[in-house]
Amino acid sequence: MKSFALVITLPLAALGIVLAVLEYMEYTESAKFAFESYEELERSGLIAQGWLPQYLPSSVTNIEESHNPDTNRVWATFRYQAGDSNSVESACNRIAESDLGKKFICPPFSTRTSTMVLRNNGEGYYLSYENGI
């Protein structure tokens, strides 16, 4: 009975280790950048390359961006001047609003899922990944 348990347990444990290593590799292969302003971000080329959208609020500061070229996933956090949301409001569809802020789904709608959260306290978040629908 013990040998049967080992036959089942050891491969499952090995599989768990392999999956953990692959997950770790995905995060460690991501490119990470930090910018103080929209102008600095724009000069970096990340907007022109499509990693971040042009419709970010122009007042963004303290931008931290990470993307994975293999999976085309993008994550970003930033500060912005609360109320500076016209560019996002024009480009995206608001899907939720509360006392804390607003959540948007943003283009391109047919090839990616991109969401942006603009909190009323001036914190912002952006997440985008390919989905091909």
pLDDT (mean) for 26-37 = 80
pLDDT (mean) for 88-96 = 97
Neighbours of 78 (CB within 10 A): 24
Q: Is residue 14 part of a domain?
A: no
Task: Name beta bridge partners: 79.
Answer: 61, 123
Q: Is residue 77 part of a domain?
A: yes
Q: Is residue 2 part of a domain?
A: no
When the pLDDT of each residue in the chain is averaged and rounded to a whole number, the result is 85
Domain count of the fold of the chain: 1
Res. 19: pLDDT tops 50: no
Task: Supply 124's token pair.
Answer: 């912002």
Res. 11: pLDDT tops 80: no
Q: What is the pLDDT of residue 2?
A: 55
Q: How confident is the model at residue 3 (pLDDT cuts 50, 70, 90)?
A: low
Could you tell me which residues come within 8 angstroms of residue 72 by beta carbon, excluding any fewer than 6 positions away?
129, 130
In this predicted model, what pLDDT tens digit does every residue of 109-132 receive, in sequence order? 888 999 999 999 999 999 999 987
Maximum Cα–Cα distance across the chain: 67
Domain that holds residue 48: 30-130
Q: Is residue 24 part of a domain?
A: no
What is each CA distance from 93 to 18, 90, 107, in whole angstroms? 39, 8, 9
Task: Supply 88's token pair.
Answer: 């996002």
Query: How many helices and strands in the chain, by DSSP H and E?
Result: 3, 7
pLDDT (mean) for 24-48 = 84
Res. 103: pLDDT tops 60: yes
Q: Is residue 69 part of a domain?
A: yes
Q: Is residue 25 part of a domain?
A: no
Res. 83: pLDDT tops 60: yes
Task: Name beta bridge partners: 118.
Answer: 102, 124
- Interatomic CA distance for residues 43 and 86, integer angstroms: 22
Q: Is residue 9 part of a domain?
A: no
- Cβ–Cβ < 8 Å for 124, 60: yes
Q: Is residue 10 part of a domain?
A: no
